[in-house]
Amino acid sequence: MQETPRPAQDNRRPFVLVTGLSGAGRATALKALEDMGYVAVDNVPLPLLGDLMRSTAGSPGELAAPLAFGVDTRTFGFDPHDLVRRVQELRLRADIAARLLFLDCDTEALRRRYTESRRPHPLAPDRPVTDAIGEERKQIGWLRDSADVVIDTSALAPHEFKQLLGGHFALGRGAGTRLAVMSFSYRRGLPREADLVFDVRFLRNPHYVPELKPLTGRDPRVAAFVAADGGYRPFIESLRALIAPLLPRFDAEGKAYLTIAVGCTGGRHRSVAVAEDLAGWLRDTGRSVTLSHRDAEAAGEAVGAG
């Protein structure tokens, strides 16, 4: 196998500017980044960013501390155009690896979060929260186009959110794109964090085999049943042939994290078996891979699951 080229070690100071819709998870993101080793600062007026970067740079000759800076519409003097300008300037500096993280979320999920927390929306404390969410989208929704990383937190559990953040922003990781492989149920919707999605509903469904129905694709009996399908081997070989040449290109582009999602009807049998196979192959090539099965247990009783 041809050795995959790796990018050179990046010695620039990591800097993550976290913004997005109010209620989409900025505080959670900053806490996760702090746990990774960043100096995390939230809700400081944007004009003070330069002072903050200098004050946390350390002594001459020392490595400057990685910095995460949270800002959104509730921040005093917030100006989204000024935010983009500052990020663009930082991206041009040779000593800083600056990235803009934008956190998005469905209106209904945001409404539910504000209702459960009983907190008013910062843009409209005396109006319906959905009005405030719509107004905020008009003000800053276009920032998505300038972001290096966009994460939609609508359906993410806290541990899934932190896993995504770790994939994109973890410190001290080896060179090269980190990979996440996941299985999912089409019935429960496409995973919004996925970069590449593959549909395996064409494979024979173990759900209709009584002794296999209560199991998942992690069970060797289910995996063997799926692999025995005449279309399985050509598909998995074609999938590997498709992915293999993409990875060095992602490395060269500096992409930190790539999520590959495999889906079937119920997310319990076929997609799980294929995701397990794919993750094992990627690990054998020397890649850093996390593996998760979003709907494997929740789909157990669904009609036609698999």
Q: What is the CATH number of the domain that holds 99?
A: 3.40.50.300
For residue 175, name the pLDDT band (cuts at 50, 70, 90). Answer: low
**Are residues 121 and 21 in contact, defined by beta-carbon separation less than 8 angstroms?**
no
> Which pLDDT score is estimated for 183?
96
Lowest mean pLDDT among 51-65, 86-100, 159-173, 189-203: 51-65
Q: How many domains does the chain have?
A: 2
Checking if the pLDDT of 121 tops 90, the result is no
Count of C-beta atoms within a 10 Å radius of residue 71: 25
159 shares its domain with 55: yes
Q: Which residue has the higher pLDDT, 275 or 55?
A: 275
Tens digit of pLDDT for each residue in 55-110? Answer: 887 666 667 889 999 998 888 888 899 999 999 999 999 889 999 999 999 999 99
Tens digit of pLDDT for each residue in 20-60? Answer: 999 999 999 999 999 989 999 998 888 888 888 888 876 66
CA 276 – CA 217 distance, rounded (Å): 8
For residue 10, name the pLDDT band (cuts at 50, 70, 90). Answer: low
The position carrying tokens 């492989």 is 181
For residue 306, name the pLDDT band (cuts at 50, 70, 90). Answer: low
Is residue 1 a part of any domain in this protein? no
Is residue 266 a part of any domain in this protein? yes
**Are residues 79 and 27 in contact, defined by beta-carbon separation less than 8 angstroms?**
no
Angle at 287 between CA 173 and CA 156, to 5 degrees: 70
Q: Which two tokens stand for residue 178?
A: 């980190």
146 shares its domain with 220: no
Positive or negative, the Cα torsion across 295, 299, 305, 306? positive
Is residue 7 a part of any domain in this protein? no
Q: Which of 240, 248, 241 is nearest to 181 (CA)?
A: 240
109 shares its domain with 220: no
154 shares its domain with 198: no
Is residue 306 a part of any domain in this protein? no
> Which pLDDT score is estimated for 302?
36
Mean pLDDT (whole number) for 231-236:
97
Provide the domain limits for residue 200: 178-293
Mean pLDDT (whole number) for 253-270:
90
Q: Which residues does residue 14 pair with via DSSP β-bridges, in sequence order?
A: 97
31 shares its domain with 117: yes
**Which spans in the chain are helix H?**
26-36, 49-55, 80-91, 107-117, 129-140, 158-169, 220-227, 232-243, 246-253, 270-284
| Residue 96: DSSP 8-state | E
CA 78 – CA 139 distance, rounded (Å): 11
CA 207 – CA 168 distance, rounded (Å): 36
Q: Which residues contact 260 (CB under 8 A, 6 or more apart)?
A: 179, 180, 181, 182, 194, 195, 196, 198, 243, 278
